[in-house]
Structure 1
Amino acid sequence: MTMRLWGKLGAIVPLLAITGCGAFGNEGRACTDIGAESGVSVLFDPEPGTAYRLCVGAVCTEGEGAPIDTSEALLRVRLPDAVGAKKVTVRLTGTPQFSRGIPKPRRLDVSTRVTLRRTQPNGPGCDPVAYQAALRYEPAKGLVNAG
């Protein structure tokens, strides 16, 4: 009898260790531990010699974009997690930098309004809650929904 009890406990303890401390912390729901941040990201084809700036309202980031592959880049603005599912203005600008021998690309200045979508990657009732939008810049169309 004692052997059976320890045998059953031996099967349960590893299961609890795998699920982690917070796995059953949300009213008995099992939650995974996928992270998420609120923000807006824009995928685009960068022009050599151009500095880019992405703004969501008054929050901005600058750079050449994080390379996704050989032709695409990504800029992302992180927003406070409590931002909510609201409409925001997104603006992408590209300013050519002077460089001899390189044809000067044209200036880029596009904007749109987008509604941030609520996401809970670990399921309903589980943290984190984030508000996100994903856009893509297309020269003929401007900023369009990437999803």
Structure 2
Amino acid sequence: MIKKLTNIQIYNNTIIINGHESKVHVDGTCLEAALLVDENYILLFVTFDCPFEEILAIYLLDLQQNRIIDKAKICRMYYTDFFSDLVIVSEKRLSFEFMIEGGWTLALFDKPKKSLSHLLPMSVVKRPFSLTRYFSLKRNV
């Protein structure tokens, strides 16, 4: 189950939950959206407020471990855009618009999946090296 949150803020790159610092730091300055996933995770959409080269960072925060367990960045050199049209499609799937026509679909996994996607070059989506993923990110065609 995914639901929108309003009690999340970012201050000096630190996530603030209900007015308390979480000790979790993220890149970016503008919190675009925060979603509670299955009461155990928070999905954050954060932009960098850079007028000539905007970046959207997506973070999955595990509330029990108080750490980021998965992340992705959508960016392209010398390209700017706005995050918009966030829609919760189902219990584990949502869509949004950023940078490309047609937008994106983010699918959350019930449990971590093995991933070798770091071997495939993706020019727009950047993800750190990891053998497991907690969500997938695909272009809507």
TM-score, normalising length: structure 2: 0.29
Instruction: Give the TM-score, by structure 1 length.
Output: 0.28
Q: Which has the higher helix share?
A: 1
